[in-house]
Structure 1
Amino acid sequence: MTEPTGLSAAAEQSVPTQLMKHKKEVGVASEELGSANAATDQKEQTTSEISKDYVYRSSGRPEKTEIIKSLVTDQDEARNCELYLPASSHCSAVESPEESEEDMYRDAEEIEREKILLREANSSEYKLSVSPEMDIMEYCRKEWRGNTPVAKRMRKGYEAVAQKFASIRRIRGDNYCAFRATLFQALSQATQLPGWLQSEDLTMLPENLLNKYDWIKQWQLKQKLGKKMGEISDEIKEYLILLRKKWRNISEIKDPIEKQEACDKLFKNEEEEYSLYEALKFLMLNTAIELYNDDKNGRRVPVFSWLLFARDTSSNPCQLMHNHLNHIGHTGGLEQVEMFLLAYALQYTIQVYRLYKYSTDEFITLYPNDPEEDWPVVTLITEDDRHYNIPVRMCQETML
C-alpha cells in the first residue's frame, strides 16, 4: 500500500479558520445531515456542501475535497426507524425524516438484482456471518452482468480492487455488517493486543459512565430491549472482557491458517459474535462522550466530531445514543460519519473501496481521514456505503 504523507503546515492553514475554531460553523449543515439520502442506485448525489478537509486518497497525497457528500447512510433503515424519546430531561430525541421514493432512481436491472439478493438471504451460505472466500472478479461477474452505467462502473471498481486483493468474502447483512467486516479484518490480521484493550480501566467503563451520566440507563442491548442500563451494566462489562480475551487469544496465534480458522470459528458463534458488537457500540459511546467534552473544554477535536454533533438527531452524546447507537443492529446500520467514530474507538484506520465512487477522488476513503501513523489498517469494500464486504488473500496488517 502506498504510504500517504502527513499534512503539511500550509495544508493545515488552508482549512477554514472559522471551522477549526468552533463547530457552529458547520451547524448549518445539521439539516442536510439529518435528511440526506443514500443513493441506492449509486447515482451521484446533489447534497449540500457540508465541510472541506483533506482526505487521504490512493495517490498517497492529501487532497482538498468535500469531506462527506452524504454522511447519513443506511437510509432505508434509518428513515423507517422510530426514534426513541428518552425519559431523561437531559436530552431530547428528534423525529426522523420521511421516507422518500427511491424506485424512480433505479433501473429494472438493479431492482431485479435486489430481489435476487433478498431470495439469497434465505440460503444457508448467505446466513454465514462471513462467507468463504471467492475470486473477486468471479464474484463481480456474478453480481454485475448488465450493461448499465452502474454495472460498468462497478466492474471497473472491482477490477481496481483485484489489483491489490485476490479474493472477497461476503459479509452477512443484518445491520451489523460494518462492525462485522471491520472486526473480522482486525482480528484476522492482529499480531498484538491493542494498548486500550490492556487498560485496567476498561472493565470499569460501564460503571464509571453510568455514575456520571444518568441517561445511559436507557442503553439498549440486542434482544434485551427495554432493560435499563442499571440492570445490565455487568453484562456490558462481560462483553468488554470477552472482546479483550478473544483479541488476545487470536493475536497470539502465529500460524496464519490457524489464525484464520480461529476467526471463522468465532464468527460462527452467534452469541459471542453479537456480544462483541455490543462492546464496540459501547466503546463508540465512550469515544463520543470524550470528543464532545474535549470540544466543550476548548480542546482540539477532529472535524468529523463536529459533523457528528451537528446533526439534528445527535446534537449531544445522549441523543447519539438514543437515536443512533441504540438502533444499530436493530433497525439500522452505521452511517458514514459513524464510521469515523468506530475507527477512533478501535484506534484503527478503516480503508474503504467505495465502488460506486470509482474514477473519483473518493474511490478510496480513509476513516479517519487524518489517521495516526501507528494505527493498523483494515480494508473493506462497499458498493453503496450501506453494506460492507472484505477483500482477502493479499490483506496484511500495515501502518499508514
Structure 2
Amino acid sequence: MIESTSLSASPDQAQKKQRVVVQLMKHKKEVGVPSNELVSRNATAGQKEQSTSEVRKDYVCTSAGRPEKTEVVKSVVTHQDASGNCELHLPVSSNCSAMESSEDSEEDLYRDAEEIEREKILRSEISFSEYKVSVAPEIDIMEYCRKEWRGNTPVAKRMRKGYEEVAQKFASIRRVRGDNYCALRATLFQALSQATQLPSWLQSEDFTMLPENLLSRYDWIKQWQLKEKLGRKMGEISDEIKECLILLRKKWKDISEIEDPIEKQDACDKLFKNEEEEYSLYEALKFLMLNTAIRLYNDDKNGRSVPVFSWLLFARDTSSNPCQLMQNHLNHIGHSGGLEQVEMFLLAYALQYTIQVYRLYKYSTDEFITLYPNDPEEDWPVVTLITEDDRHYNIPVRMCQETML
C-alpha cells in the first residue's frame, strides 16, 4: 500500500505545518473573502493567494446526474512554491451560472429554472435507463457540447471554448451516472480501460488481509457504513470488505490481461453494467482511501514527511483524525455526497495514479488543467476526466493508451 517518505521532520517543516493550520483556523472567521481554489500544473511558483473558508450551498449529483444543494464546507489545497511554502484554500461559492442550463434559448425566457432542470433530469434518466449502464456509450465531444451548451451566455461560451480545447486531444466523451459515486466511477473506469498490468500494490500478499489488520488495531472501523447497511459485527465487516478487495484485484487482473482494445472496452462496459460488482468495487476504493489516510496521519504524527494536502485533510473540523474522516466523509460518499476536492488527492494517492482533470469552467486560467496530485510521481499512470463544476465528472475517450507524465 501507500508508503510515505520516511524522513525526520525538520524545524522548517514543523514551522510550515504550524503556519498552515494556524492560517486555516484564522480564516475560518473570514467568510466570503474571494480566493483561488487549486494550483494547477501551470501555476506560477511563489504566487501569493488568499486563504479563505465559506460555508455555502454546494451541489452533489443526484441519481440523474444533476446538482442538488446541500450545506457543506468545501476544502482544497494549494502548494505555493518549490521551497515548500504553502497555503490552504477553502474555495468560495461557485457562481450558480456554472450550473446554467444547456437549454439557454429564447424559449427559456418563458420557462422557469425548475422546469428546465426537470426536463434535463428526465432526459438524462431516459438516456441511462436505455443503455442500462453506468457509463454511457461514447458520443462526439463537440456534438455533446453543442447539445448541452446552446446558449449565448458567458458561461455557455466558456464551456464551448473549454470543450474545443479538450477536443484537440480527445475525440469523444462518455457520460457518467451521477449518483455521488461519479468521481470514483470515472476514475476507476478510466484506470481499468487503460490498464496493461496489475499495479504493484494490488500484488501484495497482505493486500486482502488489510481489513482484518486494520480492525485489529482500530476498533472504530466497525462503524464503517458498507452498502448503506449498518449494525454489522466486526467480523462481518472485515469479511465483506475483504471480498470487495478480492473482487477489485480479480477484475483489474482480468481486464489488464486483455490485449485487444475493443475487447478491453467491452469487458469494462460489462463490469459497469453489473450493479452488485460495480458498487462493491467502490467500497474497495473507499477502504483503500481510509487505509491511505491512516498511513498519512500516522506518518505525520511520527514526524515523517507527508504530502501537503494531508495537512488540510486533517485540519478540517469534520476530519481531524482518520476516525472522523471515515464517519463524516467516507461513509457518506455515494450515499449523501461525493468526493470533495481534497479527497481527490487522497483517491490519487490510494490508487497511485495521477488524475488529470479538465475543469471547463476554469477555461483560460492556469487551473483549466489540474493534476491530483499536482506533483505526481513519474511512474504513476495517468487517467483523464472532465468536469464542468468540480462536482460531476465525465470521461474523455479515443486517446486510450496508458501514459506517463
TM-score in same-fold range (> 0.5): yes
SS for the counterpart of 2:125 is: coil
Query: For the structure 1 residues 150 and 64, does the alpha-carbon distance in structure 2 shift closer, same or farther, using more than 3 Å as the test?
Result: farther
Partner of 1:266: 271
Aligned equivalent of 1:251, options 256, 263, 274: 256
SS for the counterpart of 1:76 is: strand
SS for the counterpart of 1:56 is: coil
Partner of 2:125: 122
Residues 1:282 and 2:287 are matched in the alignment: yes
Partner of 1:25: 19
Quote how far apart the aligned CAs of 1:36 are: 11
Quote how far apart the aligned CAs of 1:125 are: 3.7
Partner of 1:216: 221
Task: Return the alpha-carbon distance in structure 2 between the equivalents of residues 346 and 200 of structure 1.
Answer: 17
Query: For the structure 1 residues 104 and 170, does the alpha-carbon distance in structure 2 shift closer, same or farther, using more than 3 Å as the test?
Result: closer
Task: Return the alpha-carbon distance in structure 1 between the equivalents of residues 168 and 241 of structure 2.
Answer: 41
Partner of 1:143: 148
TM-score (norm. length: structure 2): 0.79
Query: For the structure 1 residues 229 and 121, does the alpha-carbon distance in structure 2 shift closer, same or farther, using more than 3 Å as the test?
Result: farther
Query: For the structure 1 residues 127 and 357, does the alpha-carbon distance in structure 2 shift closer, same or farther, using more than 3 Å as the test?
Result: farther
Task: Return the alpha-carbon distance in structure 2 between the equivalents of residues 133 and 202 of structure 1.
Answer: 34
Quote how far apart the aligned CAs of 1:49 are: 6.6
Query: For the structure 1 residues 390 and 70, does the alpha-carbon distance in structure 2 shift closer, same or farther, using more than 3 Å as the test?
Result: farther
Partner of 2:202: 197
The question of whether the paired residues in 2 share the 8 Å contact of 1:153 and 1:355 is answered with yes
Query: For the structure 1 residues 31 and 305, does the alpha-carbon distance in structure 2 shift closer, same or farther, using more than 3 Å as the test?
Result: same
Task: Return the alpha-carbon distance in structure 2 between the equivalents of residues 314 and 144 of structure 1.
Answer: 37
Quote how far apart the aligned CAs of 1:30 are: 4.5
Quote how far apart the aligned CAs of 1:396 are: 2.3
Task: State, as a whole percentage, how many aligned pairs show the same letter.
Answer: 75
Amino acid paired to 1:159: E
Partner of 2:189: 184
Quote how far apart the aligned CAs of 1:186 are: 0.3
Aligned equivalent of 2:356, options 351, 359, 365: 351
Quote how far apart the aligned CAs of 1:67 are: 11
Partner of 1:382: 387
Partner of 1:335: 340
Task: Return the alpha-carbon distance in structure 1 between the equivalents of residues 318 and 160 of structure 2.
Answer: 36
Task: Return the alpha-carbon distance in structure 2 between the equivalents of residues 238 and 202 of structure 1.
Answer: 11
Query: For the structure 1 residues 64 and 135, does the alpha-carbon distance in structure 2 shift closer, same or farther, using more than 3 Å as the test?
Result: farther
Amino acid paired to 1:75: D
Task: Return the alpha-carbon distance in structure 2 between the equivalents of residues 190 and 168 of structure 1.
Answer: 19
Query: For the structure 1 residues 72 and 201, does the alpha-carbon distance in structure 2 shift closer, same or farther, using more than 3 Å as the test?
Result: farther
Task: Return the alpha-carbon distance in structure 2 between the equivalents of residues 300 and 55 of structure 1.
Answer: 22
SS for the counterpart of 2:59 is: helix
Quote how far apart the aligned CAs of 1:228 are: 4.5
Query: For the structure 1 residues 106 and 120, does the alpha-carbon distance in structure 2 shift closer, same or farther, using more than 3 Å as the test?
Result: closer
Partner of 2:313: 308
Quote how far apart the aligned CAs of 1:230 are: 3.8
SS for the counterpart of 1:122 is: helix
SS for the counterpart of 2:206 is: helix
Amino acid paired to 1:238: E
Query: For the structure 1 residues 102 and 165, does the alpha-carbon distance in structure 2 shift closer, same or farther, using more than 3 Å as the test?
Result: closer
Task: Return the alpha-carbon distance in structure 2 between the equivalents of residues 69 and 161 of structure 1.
Answer: 31
Query: For the structure 1 residues 307 and 238, does the alpha-carbon distance in structure 2 shift closer, same or farther, using more than 3 Å as the test?
Result: same
Residues 1:75 and 2:69 are matched in the alignment: no
SS for the counterpart of 2:264 is: helix
**What is the number of equivalent residue pairs in this alignment?**
356
Quote how far apart the aligned CAs of 1:209 are: 0.4
Aligned equivalent of 1:56, options 41, 45, 49: 41
SS for the counterpart of 1:343 is: helix
Residues 1:132 and 2:137 are matched in the alignment: yes
Partner of 2:170: 165
Query: For the structure 1 residues 399 and 102, does the alpha-carbon distance in structure 2 shift closer, same or farther, using more than 3 Å as the test?
Result: closer
**Where in structure 2 are there 5+ consecutive unaligned residues?**
1-10, 61-67, 74-92, 105-112
Quote how far apart the aligned CAs of 1:307 are: 1.0
The question of whether the paired residues in 1 share the 8 Å contact of 2:354 and 2:381 is answered with yes
The question of whether the paired residues in 2 share the 8 Å contact of 1:33 and 1:72 is answered with no
Query: For the structure 1 residues 201 and 240, does the alpha-carbon distance in structure 2 shift closer, same or farther, using more than 3 Å as the test?
Result: same
TM-score (norm. length: structure 1): 0.80
Task: Return the alpha-carbon distance in structure 2 between the equivalents of residues 117 and 82 of structure 1.
Answer: 25
**Where in structure 1 are there 5+ consecutive unaligned residues?**
1-16, 38-44, 84-99
Quote how far apart the aligned CAs of 1:119 are: 1.6
Partner of 1:40: none
The question of whether the paired residues in 1 share the 8 Å contact of 2:357 and 2:386 is answered with yes
Quote how far apart the aligned CAs of 1:80 are: 4.2
Task: Return the alpha-carbon distance in structure 2 between the equivalents of residues 307 and 238 of structure 1.
Answer: 32
Task: Return the alpha-carbon distance in structure 2 between the equivalents of residues 221 and 386 of structure 1.
Answer: 23
Quote how far apart the aligned CAs of 1:222 are: 1.4
Quote how far apart the aligned CAs of 1:121 are: 3.9
Partner of 1:5: none
Task: Return the alpha-carbon distance in structure 1 between the equivalents of residues 204 and 322 of structure 2.
Answer: 23
Task: Return the alpha-carbon distance in structure 2 between the equivalents of residues 394 and 186 of structure 1.
Answer: 13
Task: Return the alpha-carbon distance in structure 2 between the equivalents of residues 26 and 376 of structure 1.
Answer: 30
